């Protein structure tokens, strides 16, 4: 089986201060067992790039509660009062990025592009410190690519060579972060023989996946 790891072994691979992309949309599609293992090993100083920080006790919210996160790059933190409180106190640096811009910056990082041109944020605080580029008479902000040391992916199924399929809103960020992490660790709900996942259902090909989390219970 491709790069099989326990959650504990995977958490041990991820050093303090690492830059992580973590899948999930309000904790749907987040790799819960891997997050639990990071909390258990006392990870700290992490930069987390994700759609949101979920809620206390769920998904990325567990890392926030544990004090494991130093910086968040996300589209919103409105569901997690702990993230808000730690931002206000200065414990966590938060960069809020419009959701569409965030996913396109991640895609740009994964595809090797130099950036994304978008009109979103022009004339607002989002524009501060960024280049404005004119194309055919219209102005755009240049948004730079996002990459990470690790992409932590929550999948529905994986096969033995790492092909992944997703369920429902887990599609929103998991497939794109799998493009932009230097090391991709996938936590599937189940691991099945090659051929069980129909080709059309494979959203992340195994060539992108470095490790699969196995169940120990």
pLDDT of residue 217: 63
* The pLDDT value given to residue 169: 86
Report, in angstroms and rounded to the nearest whole number, the Rg of the chain calculated over CA atoms.
17
pLDDT tens column, 189-206:
999 999 999 999 999 999
Stated pTM of the model: 0.95
Neighbours of 16 (CB within 10 A): 12
Fold of 4-114+146-213: Glutaconate Coenzyme A-transferase (3.40.1080)
Nearest to residue 120, comparing CAs of 92, 139, 147?
139
Give 50-85 pLDDT, tens digit per residue: 999 999 999 999 999 999 999 999 999 999 999 999
pLDDT the model gives residue 212: 97
Q: Provide mean pLDDT across the span 164-172.
A: 92
Alpha carbons 96 and 99: distance in angstroms, whole number: 9
- Give the pLDDT score at 170: 87
Q: What is the pLDDT of residue 2?
A: 78
Domain parsing of the chain, residue ranges: 4-114+146-213
Largest CA distance in the chain: 60
Mean per-residue pLDDT of the chain = 96
Query: Angle 143-146-147 (CA atoms, 0-180°, nearest 5)?
Result: 160
Closest to 51 in 3D by CA, of 10, 22, 80: 22
In percent, how much of the chain has pLDDT > 70? 99
> 84, 94 in Cβ contact below 8 A?
no
Q: Is the pLDDT of residue 87 over 80?
A: yes
What pLDDT is stored for residue 125 in this prediction?
A: 87
Strands 19-22 and 148-159: parallel
Task: Give the residue among 30, 53, 23 at the shortest CA–CA distance from 148.
Answer: 23
Asked whether the predicted pLDDT for residue 148 surpasses 90, the reply is yes
Residue 84: what pLDDT? 97
């Amino acid at each position: 089986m491709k790069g099989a790891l326990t959650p504990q072994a995977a958490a041990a691979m991820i050093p303090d201060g690492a830059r992580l992309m973590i899948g999930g949309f309000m904790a749907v599609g987040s790799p819960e067992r891997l997050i639990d293992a990071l909390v258990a090993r006392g990870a700290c100083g992490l930069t987390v790039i994700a759609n949101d920080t979920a809620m206390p006790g769920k998904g990325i919210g567990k890392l926030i509660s544990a004090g494991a996160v130093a910086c968040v790059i996300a589209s919103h933190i409105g569901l997690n009062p702990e993230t808000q409180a730690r931002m206000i106190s200065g414990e966590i640096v938060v960069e809020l990025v419009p959701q569409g811009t965030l996913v396109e910056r991640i895609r740009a990082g994964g595809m090797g592009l130099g950036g994304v041109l978008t009109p979103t944020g022009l004339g607002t605080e989002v524009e501060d410190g960024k280049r404005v580029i004119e194309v055919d008479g219209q102005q755009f902000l240049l948004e730079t690519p996002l990459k990470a040391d690790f992409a932590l992916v929550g999948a529905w199924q994986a096969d033995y060579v790492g092909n992944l399929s997703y369920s429902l809103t887990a599609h929103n960020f998991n497939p794109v972060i799998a493009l932009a992490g230097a090391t991709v660790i996938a936590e599937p709900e189940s691991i099945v023989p090659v051929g069980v996942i129909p080709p059309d259902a494979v959203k992340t090909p195994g060539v992108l996946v470095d490790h699969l989390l196995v169940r120990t219970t």
